[in-house]
Amino acid sequence: MDPIDRKILALLQADASMSIADIAAQVGLSQTPCWKRIQKMEASGVIKGRVALLSGKKLNLGLTVFVQIRTKQHDDVWLAKFARAVTEMPEVVEVYRMAGDIDYLLRVVVRDTEAYDRFYKTLIKKVPLHDVSSSFAMEEIKYTTALPIEVERAA
């Protein structure tokens, strides 16, 4: 991946709806080579997809909950059951297997605490858990989906 690819990625992260003509002009290419680079990065998986970012608050989904999970079971069968359960629950927007005291960390987005309670009850019915701890986000200070791509800056 060269500096032009990185510039293209930075532009797409900022606004995936940019036209090929605008991207090409900003990176100093004509449209066809620019489009071919984007297609190559999509085919290789560098670009996983293009999405619209939505406002949870405007959609009445204003509560973000970080759920820390500990389990006493670490076998493949339990993990497959857990992965299937959280994948099927639309409220779960991120899941991470962790190192340290916590086994799994979930980011859950719901309407309110009552909706979270329904989510929690559903989760514990689907898969046995040893300990579940929930932290409710009070304020979103920074949120981005952009990865920190190093783009050469003109001196």
Where in the sequence is the domain holding 125, given as residue range(s)?
63-136
148 within domain boundaries: no
What is the spatial distance between Cα 41 and Cα 15, in angstroms, rounded to a whole number?
A: 16
Task: Give me the pLDDT at residue 151, please.
Answer: 78
Same domain (yes/no): 69, 20: no
Residue 8 and residue 12: Cα distance in Å, rounded? 6
Task: Supply the mean pLDDT for the chain.
Answer: 95
In a domain, 144, yes or no: no
Same domain membership, residue 79 and residue 130: yes
- pTM for this one? 0.87
pLDDT in tens, 108-154: 999 999 999 999 999 999 999 999 999 999 999 999 999 999 876 64
Provide the pLDDT confidence category of residue 57 given band limits of 50, 70 and 90.
very high
**Tally of structural domains, the chain:** 2
Q: Quick one: average pLDDT of 29-51?
A: 97
Helical ranges in 89-148 per DSSP H: 113-126
- Collapsing DSSP to helix, strand or coil, 57 comes out as coil
145 assigned to some structural domain: no
Q: Own/partner pairs for 49-55, CB < 8 Å, 24+ apart?
A: 50/12, 50/16, 51/16, 53/145
Which strand ranges, in their side-by-side order, compose the sheet holding 104-110?
A: 92-97, 104-110, 63-70, 131-136
Q: Which residue would you say has higher pLDDT here, 150 or 84?
A: 84
